[in-house]
Chain A
């Protein structure tokens, strides 16, 4: 099968990502519709189910190597300080301590885009790294940390965006507390507002949310001479490889990163950790493997969060609801080091509007740096946008869905190109029917009684169409079994399983004959990080291509073995036979058995994306809530998630991922909140008791409706990613349902009982 090299272009926020990629040179015949397939689209059990339920799945935190030692990192107890001196002598004397690294005995390794170092004397948040101890056991390492004496020069801190933006605020970086702004204009906002009959403006705020994956961030490292192997709890093995190699001055090919199972990431595990590099430095010095792991407290301080937001949205409309202008002026905290906190993208992209003005500021504060978190910017942006749109609908006397349909767009507002597919209208229809939209309160808050119910909805847009480069290697063995290798990751999302399903369907072999190995930069072809809902749409076409090539290779080999012309051969159910002579037939395992090397290998590649189209996923979620007006407690009774996500690869794992997105969205809407004490600058929510996350008791009834089928303009598998879309509209839908129940708008997340009671009091 012929190949070509292209410059692959992919949009993610403002970034126009360009990479060189090898892709099939011609458009491939797409995978058959799900109705004609045995495995794809069906309720296939998870490939890695056994390992996970039996306890035999080895996560990085479980990894034990012979002679391995343990590393623990000492972090700053102060939100803002400078190290005056460090004395490790007492710690080094503790029996079992092997080595300690600090800024005093480590070369300067740049970190956070050159704004800091691996060990920086200037500590900019509670959690910034001070020292790292290696010891025979984790307990000894932990004890050693308490014996390190550090003299700090305590500096004034700033932990809210509002105070950090003040002119006389303590400066976190030499050039101040403002990061790179996000500004954008389309048309002319002021002119658009002049054309409006009605305008609405309001400000919404959201909190900092912490990922808190169950498995702590951790690595196990081992040197073999100059070559380093890293077992890492990561969503992106190749990013970790490149980050670690660069930090240590190694060739990327001398670093091998392995990840088999990982206990959750949600965006927090897309980059290499300082602990990984520290572990490598310690291992080099000691000459033994090192495991470095964070604890739960550090998980809540140091490894990322969803930034907060203060969003002021203005919308101008004609009397009939047609938008004439929209603006999104916002700021949010990105923590102590460069990240982003913008939240405007839903407003910029989901509705038709000729005049847009955007100005989002990202602010440094003395707190842990933000990282991508399941639909960065979109969850908070959608909450604000979809809240104000409901308020606008009320003002205009329109049905909220009718107002959204009035401003529906069939073309991407940025590039003025059509979408490969957009079935948002269908999602509105089916979702509204399932939730009983017509039964919502026509006058919000009009129910009598202590418990009020409400129904609300919100829409969703995301990217997640996937892109090359992404490759998968397929081996077919002489026992008829197949094995797939790809440098992608399964982060609990079902990657192992859908790859197995696709190969089994294309080769027409039983699914249990197909095995999958993922997550090893040393032995597997490249695939990208598992973020941005990119994995399935990127790697499913690669495994499809590998299987199609394998089929062709088998036919060519069978032709030689059977001495029949290829064009006269038929491939069916793992058998290749002559059209004309039924005696000339061979099973594929025998084809492989007759080949000298007893194995056939192909490598498939993700196709290039089509020119002249935008690729986006769409969806709408509908919430039904009960609000207890005496206690202020909100209970989400039902969520309907109606989405356009292209082809369903596996119904079982798909629904599960939607449940997860909805429940995480519910947590964000109602309870999750990182709290920092302004006076001390310290985080008060550093454990899973104080940082509230949903449990089974909070679970609503969730109904998943997929309105789409395969989108073959994108790829031969026609898949869009679902991880992020599943969460984006949930908080907005819940907020609108709460408004529908009580008739007062809660403009700040999380919607906690105190806010409900305060709102009800202000109403009466």
Chain B
């Protein structure tokens, strides 16, 4: 996976390299615990404000291994935003109808509001924050600035993550491929022509 990512030059992030292979299935993914006093020492920092936070979730987010104590009814979007403070992932429709919460999980775009966080156990999740290297933008993000592929900016992380997933599977998409892949991302401001041009520019810049 890391090889593919680097050869596609989608990102110069180093976390995928560090993540290596063989993560899936190699760790304890989920374990239920009955009460707060059974919590391991590594979870002690969070006060048990929600008594329903009973489950442990292990996953990789932006190259970092995370072990989180969560309410099993939490969606992936809620965990990313509320547990990891990765607020770049936006919740818009909260039912998988608009793409605002799109993140990339094991190289595929998913609606983070539409899946339980526990279903991401053991998976590798990339959010908009994961595209940056330090403060440096990924070329796809730069293309969105250059082509003004946004207005209010609220759907933008989801748009960029959809495009990112597309480029992972299809590094040289044409106009129709992009329109198809991005049609699950609603932009209420209607910046679609520029969003399309942003992705086309990113493809062009990479080649």
- A45 and B146: CB pair below 8 A? yes
B188-207 to A contact mask, C-beta < 8 Å, 1/0? 11111111100000000000
Interface contacts (Cβ under 8 Å), in number, total 181
- A663 and B50: CB pair below 8 A? no
- A57 and B153: CB pair below 8 A? yes
Cβ of A1 within 8 Å of any chain B Cβ, yes or no, is no
- For B74, the chain A residues whose CB sits under 8 A away are 139
Known contacts A54-B88, A55-B128, A491-B152, A264 near B189 by CB under 8 Å? yes
- B188 and A213: CB pair below 8 A? yes
- B87 and A136: CB pair below 8 A? no
- A50 and B137: CB pair below 8 A? yes
Partner of B90, one of A45, A215, A687, A699: A215
CB distance from B85 to the nearest CB of A (A): 7
B132-153 to A contact mask, C-beta < 8 Å, 1/0? 1000010001101110101111
Cβ of A664 within 8 Å of any chain B Cβ, yes or no, is yes
- A53 and B137: CB pair below 8 A? yes
Cβ of A493 within 8 Å of any chain B Cβ, yes or no, is yes
Cβ of B55 within 8 Å of any chain A Cβ, yes or no, is no
* Residues of chain A from 37 to 80 with CB closer than 8 A to chain B in the complex: 45-46, 48-59, 61-62, 64
Given contacts A49-B144, A55-B88, A296-B95, 14 further A-B contacts (CB under 8 A): A50-B137, A53-B145, A53-B150, A55-B127, A59-B90, A61-B91, A214-B92, A215-B92, A656-B151, A688-B93, A688-B186, A695-B186, A696-B179, A696-B196
- For A59, the chain B residues whose CB sits under 8 A away are 87, 90, 154
Known contacts A214-B98, A659-B192, A262 near B88 by CB under 8 Å? no
- B128 and A695: CB pair below 8 A? no
- For B95, the chain A residues whose CB sits under 8 A away are 296, 687-689
- A95 and B51: CB pair below 8 A? yes
Partner of A687, one of B93, B148, B196: B93
- For A346, the chain B residues whose CB sits under 8 A away are none
- For A695, the chain B residues whose CB sits under 8 A away are 183-186, 192
- For A64, the chain B residues whose CB sits under 8 A away are 85, 87
Task: Using CB atoms, name the residue of chain A closest to B100.
Answer: A214
Select the stretch in B9-17, B25-33, B155-163 that faces chain A: B155-163
- A697 and B183: CB pair below 8 A? yes
Please measure, in the bound complex, the distance between the C-alpha atom of A335 and the C-alpha atom of B195, giving whole angstroms. Answer: 36
CB distance from A703 to the nearest CB of B (A): 10
Partner of A696, one of B152, B154, B157, B192: B192
- For B196, the chain A residues whose CB sits under 8 A away are 696, 699
Known contacts A139-B50, A696-B196, A264 near B145 by CB under 8 Å? no
Please measure, in the bound complex, the distance between the C-alpha atom of A704 and the C-alpha atom of B180, giving whole angstroms. Answer: 25
Please measure, in the bound complex, the distance between the C-alpha atom of A57 and the C-alpha atom of B88, giving whole angstroms. Answer: 8
CB distance from A63 to the nearest CB of B (A): 9
Task: Using CB atoms, name the residue of chain B closest to A57.
Answer: B153
Cβ of A140 within 8 Å of any chain B Cβ, yes or no, is yes
- For B81, the chain A residues whose CB sits under 8 A away are 62
- For A699, the chain B residues whose CB sits under 8 A away are 179, 192-193, 196
Interface CB pairs A-B, < 8 A, 17 = A49-B150, A53-B157, A55-B157, A58-B87, A137-B50, A214-B92, A214-B186, A215-B152, A216-B92, A263-B154, A264-B154, A653-B148, A656-B191, A687-B95, A695-B183, A696-B196, A699-B179
CB distance from B81 to the nearest CB of A (A): 8
A384-421 to B contact mask, C-beta < 8 Å, 1/0? 00000000000000000000000000000000000000
CB distance from A370 to the nearest CB of B (A): 18
Known contacts A46-B148, A213-B188, A296 near B127 by CB under 8 Å? no
Known contacts A136-B49, A688-B97, A45 near B148 by CB under 8 Å? yes
- For B128, the chain A residues whose CB sits under 8 A away are 53-55
- A697 and B179: CB pair below 8 A? yes
- B153 and A54: CB pair below 8 A? no
Please measure, in the bound complex, the distance between the C-alpha atom of A57 and the C-alpha atom of B155, giving whole angstroms. Answer: 12
Cβ of B106 within 8 Å of any chain A Cβ, yes or no, is no
- For B92, the chain A residues whose CB sits under 8 A away are 214-216, 263, 296, 688
- A214 and B152: CB pair below 8 A? yes
B32-63 to A contact mask, C-beta < 8 Å, 1/0? 00000000000000000111100000000000
Please measure, in the bound complex, the distance between the C-alpha atom of A140 and the C-alpha atom of B192, giving whole angstroms. Answer: 37
* Residues of chain B from 83 to 139 with CB closer than 8 A to chain A in the complex: 85-95, 97-98, 100, 127-129, 131-132, 137
Give the top 8 A-B pairs by smallest Cβ distance, nearest first: A55-B88, A263-B154, A52-B153, A492-B152, A663-B190, A660-B190, A492-B151, A55-B128
Please measure, in the bound complex, the distance between the C-alpha atom of A659 and the C-alpha atom of B188, giving whole angstroms. Answer: 11
- For B86, the chain A residues whose CB sits under 8 A away are 55
Partner of A215, one of B73, B142, B154, B179: B154
- For B172, the chain A residues whose CB sits under 8 A away are none
- B191 and A62: CB pair below 8 A? no
CB distance from B182 to the nearest CB of A (A): 5
A208-224 to B contact mask, C-beta < 8 Å, 1/0? 00001111100000000
Partner of B193, one of A213, A266, A492, A702: A702
* Residues of chain A from 425 to 439 with CB closer than 8 A to chain B in the complex: none
- A660 and B191: CB pair below 8 A? yes
- For B5, the chain A residues whose CB sits under 8 A away are none
Task: Using CB atoms, name the residue of chain B closest to A695.
Answer: B183
CB distance from B148 to the nearest CB of A (A): 5
- For B155, the chain A residues whose CB sits under 8 A away are 214, 263
Task: Using CB atoms, name the residue of chain A closest to B195.
Answer: A696
A262-273 to B contact mask, C-beta < 8 Å, 1/0? 111010000000
CB distance from B186 to the nearest CB of A (A): 6
CB distance from A293 to the nearest CB of B (A): 9
CB distance from A171 to the nearest CB of B (A): 36
CB distance from B145 to the nearest CB of A (A): 4
- For A58, the chain B residues whose CB sits under 8 A away are 87
* Residues of chain A from 94 to 149 with CB closer than 8 A to chain B in the complex: 95-96, 136-140
Cβ of A179 within 8 Å of any chain B Cβ, yes or no, is no
- B189 and A492: CB pair below 8 A? yes
Cβ of B2 within 8 Å of any chain A Cβ, yes or no, is no
CB distance from A291 to the nearest CB of B (A): 11
Please measure, in the bound complex, the distance between the C-alpha atom of A216 and the C-alpha atom of B186, giving whole angstroms. Answer: 14
Partner of B160, one of A53, A136, A493, A702: A53
Please measure, in the bound complex, the distance between the C-alpha atom of A139 and the C-alpha atom of B52, giving whole angstroms. Answer: 10
Please measure, in the bound complex, the distance between the C-alpha atom of A689 and the C-alpha atom of B186, giving whole angstroms. Answer: 11
Known contacts A55-B128, A62-B87, A687-B97, A48 near B153 by CB under 8 Å? yes
Cβ of A657 within 8 Å of any chain B Cβ, yes or no, is yes
